[in-house]
Homo-oligomer: A and B are copies of this chain.
């Protein structure tokens, strides 16, 4: 409390924030596109509008879809583009340090789906999704991971779009050691499926098998003949493919699908840094017809009415230790740009978050 009281005496803070200096139609965004600047945020209560809060950022979630908000084009993932010269935003966890809304008190910790990538911000209180219960005993980054977008994306893919998944189904997951993949595989295992993942290093192959309970896994760099790899790991074909990468791997999968297979399309990271006409085309969609296959893309926000069901199920798995998480936590908001770039190099394991404070 003494810390908050001291803060209460401050009337202004300096806040570093990342803003969109120029759009990046292709390639990984660089310091030409995203720049860090320092702004001043007033903490004087009379300067804060009603129903607004001042937040101090605790954690920022790094998700591949953020990339699609930086192209300057309203295509592909159809996320709204960040405005030029304005601070960018991401899923995050923040602490209330000033409140002009009686539902929030100083010290409350909140989850915000569009938190500015900044040390401090002023937001309308309705922009916050949930106040976190400090007695729940859940580590804060978990709200951005197992109980956040990646966990929800995994759940929608496996339980809603591919569901109901039958025990014994052959499930393949790409980018399997990534934030979505690690939960998707564990959810499919809970349903009694045989689960195989592809990932980008031998270390991650080991992790998938030893920590996430995958039945098998392969490194797509060393087993780069995807068709041969899928023949080897799926002698009985593929019933469910949760696609996080698109392109060449999706094409290979379509030559191994079983009748009535389901393909939830969660992401296509292989294409995010390319304009669409330069992406790898998928040439064998005819297999969708011959095998009566459903391929369905989804944005998790479209399933927000199921978030309650998801939370209930995931919290139960979390408490029983049936699903585990792996984090890579980066310290310091100044690391945002390079951390974003690292999402596209398969160098990360699990969920990438920035700890700001």
**Residues on A close to B: CB < 8 A?**
68, 75-79, 246, 250-251, 255, 259-260, 265-268, 271, 276-299, 302
27 contacts between A and B (CB under 8 A): A68-B290, A76-B290, A77-B289, A78-B287, A78-B291, A250-B285, A255-B276, A260-B302, A265-B285, A265-B288, A266-B289, A268-B285, A268-B286, A277-B284, A278-B283, A279-B283, A280-B281, A282-B285, A285-B297, A288-B295, A288-B297, A289-B297, A291-B297, A292-B297, A294-B294, A295-B296, A296-B296
List chain B residues, Cβ under 8 A from A291. 78, 297
A297 to B287 alpha-carbon distance, docked (Å):
8
Do residues A290 and B246 form an inter-chain contact, with CB atoms below 8 A? no
CB distance from A162 to the nearest CB of B (A): 13
Known A-B contacts A290-B299, A299-B290, A299-B292; A246 and B285 likewise in contact (beta carbons under 8 Å): yes
List chain B residues, Cβ under 8 A from A293. 296-297
Taken together, the copies of this chain in the complex come to 2
Do residues B265 and A276 form an inter-chain contact, with CB atoms below 8 A? no
List chain B residues, Cβ under 8 A from A266. 289
Closest-by-CB residue of B relative to A262 is B296
A276 to B283 alpha-carbon distance, docked (Å):
6
Q: Knowing that A255-B276, A289-B297, A293-B297 touch, tell me 12 more A-B residue pairs with CB under 8 angstroms.
A: A75-B284, A75-B287, A77-B289, A78-B290, A246-B285, A265-B289, A268-B289, A280-B281, A280-B283, A286-B297, A289-B299, A290-B297
A296 to B76 alpha-carbon distance, docked (Å):
19
A142 to B286 alpha-carbon distance, docked (Å):
28
- The residue from B68, B281, B287, B302 contacting A281, defined by CB atoms under 8 A apart: B281
A298 to B285 alpha-carbon distance, docked (Å):
12
Do residues A287 and B255 form an inter-chain contact, with CB atoms below 8 A? no
List chain B residues, Cβ under 8 A from A268. 285-286, 289
Closest-by-CB residue of B relative to A76 is B286
Name which of A68, A75, A255, A295 has the most chain B CB atoms within 10 A of its CB.
A295
List chain B residues, Cβ under 8 A from A290. 68, 75-79, 297, 299
A265 to B279 alpha-carbon distance, docked (Å):
22
CB distance from A237 to the nearest CB of B (A): 12
Name which of A246, A268, A271, A290 has the most chain B CB atoms within 10 A of its CB.
A290
- Among all A-B residue pairs, the 7 with the closest Cβ atoms: A281-B281, A288-B297, A289-B297, A78-B290, A77-B290, A281-B283, A76-B286
A295 to B285 alpha-carbon distance, docked (Å):
10
A259 to B299 alpha-carbon distance, docked (Å):
10
Known A-B contacts A78-B291, A291-B78, A292-B302; A277 and B283 likewise in contact (beta carbons under 8 Å): yes
A268 to B279 alpha-carbon distance, docked (Å):
21
Closest-by-CB residue of B relative to A287 is B76
List chain B residues, Cβ under 8 A from A77. 286, 289-290
Closest-by-CB residue of B relative to A251 is B281
List chain B residues, Cβ under 8 A from A276. 255, 283-284, 286
Do residues A298 and B287 form an inter-chain contact, with CB atoms below 8 A? no
List chain B residues, Cβ under 8 A from A255. 75, 276
List chain B residues, Cβ under 8 A from A68. 290
Do residues B279 and A284 form an inter-chain contact, with CB atoms below 8 A? yes
A295 to B296 alpha-carbon distance, docked (Å):
6
A265 to B282 alpha-carbon distance, docked (Å):
15
